[in-house]
C-alpha cells in the first residue's frame, strides 16, 4: 500500500505492507537510520520519535497510523545539531556506545518542551522508558539540566 507521510517537514511516499511499523519504514525505506531498533516491543525507547511533538515508540506504530501527523525523527530535530539537547549532549559527552541516544534525546527534547526547568524527579519520570545498556544515566541527567540552561540562555560553565 502507498502511504504519504510528513517527516521532518517533508512529504515522503512509501509503498509497504500495512502492518509495517513506522520504525522500519524510516530505517529501510527512507534511510533515516538514526531511529533505532532495540526490542520491537515498546520496551526500550531506542525507536522514540515525535508524533505531533509527542514522544512515541515508532516500533509500535503501524505506518498507517502516522498518516496526516507531523513526524519528527532525530535527523529532523534541528539543523546542524543546534537543538539545546543535542548541544548539551555533545558538551556533557553523554554517549558511550550511543545506540540509545537518539531515543534519549527525543524523549528529553519533548520533556523540555513541556517542562523547561525539570527537577531531578521530573527527569527520572520522563526518562524511565528509555533504556541505556551502557548506563549513561548520570550524564543524561546532567545533559538535560545543561540543555535547560542553554535553552534559557544561561551561560554554562564548560
Residues that bind other proteins in the complex, under the rule CB under 8 A: 16-17, 19-21, 24, 27-29, 31-41, 43-44, 46, 73-75, 77, 81, 85-86, 89-93, 95-102, 105, 123-124, 127-141
Nearest distance from C-beta of residue 54 to other proteins, angstroms = 19
* 46 belongs to the binding site for ligand FES (CB under 6 A): yes
- 74 to 113: interface string for ligand FES, x by CB under 6 A: ---------------------xxxxxxx------------
Please state, in angstroms and rounded to a whole number, the distance separating the CA atoms of residues 55 and 48. Answer: 6
Please state, in angstroms and rounded to a whole number, the distance separating the CA atoms of residues 100 and 52. Answer: 22
Locate cell 518542551: which residue?
113
* 143 belongs to the binding site for ligand FES (CB under 6 A): no
Smallest CA-to-CA distance from 58 within 70, 76, 40 is with 40
Nearest distance from C-beta of residue 108 to ligand FES, angstroms = 13
Amino acid at each position: 500500500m502507498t502511504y504519504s507521510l510528513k517527516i521532518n517537514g517533508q512529504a515522503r511516499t512509501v509503498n509497504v505492507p500495512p502492518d509495517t511499523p513506522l520504525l522500519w519504514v524510516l530505517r529501510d525505506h527512507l534511510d533515516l537510520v538514526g531511529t533505532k531498533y532495540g526490542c520491537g516491543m515498546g520496551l526500550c525507547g531506542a525507536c522514540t520519535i515525535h508524533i505531533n511533538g509527542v514522544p512515541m515508540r515508532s516500533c509500535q506504530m503501524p505506518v498507517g497510523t502516522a498518516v496526516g501527523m507531523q513526524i519528527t525523527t532525530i535527523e529532523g530535530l534541528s539543523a546542524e545539531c543546534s537543538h539545546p539537547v543535542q548541544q548539551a549532549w555533545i558538551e556533557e559527552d553523554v554517549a558511550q556506545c550511543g545506540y540509545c541516544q537518539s531515543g534519549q534525546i527525543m524523549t528529553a527534547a519533548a520533556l523540555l518542551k513541556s517542562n523547561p526547568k525539570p527537577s531531578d524527579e521530573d527527569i527520572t519520570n520522563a526518562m524511565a522508558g528509555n533504556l541505556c545498556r551502557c548506563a549513561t544515566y548520570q550524564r543524561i541527567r546532567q545533559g538535560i539540566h545543561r540543555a535547560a540552561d542553554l535553552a534559557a540562555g544561561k551561560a554554562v560553565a564548560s
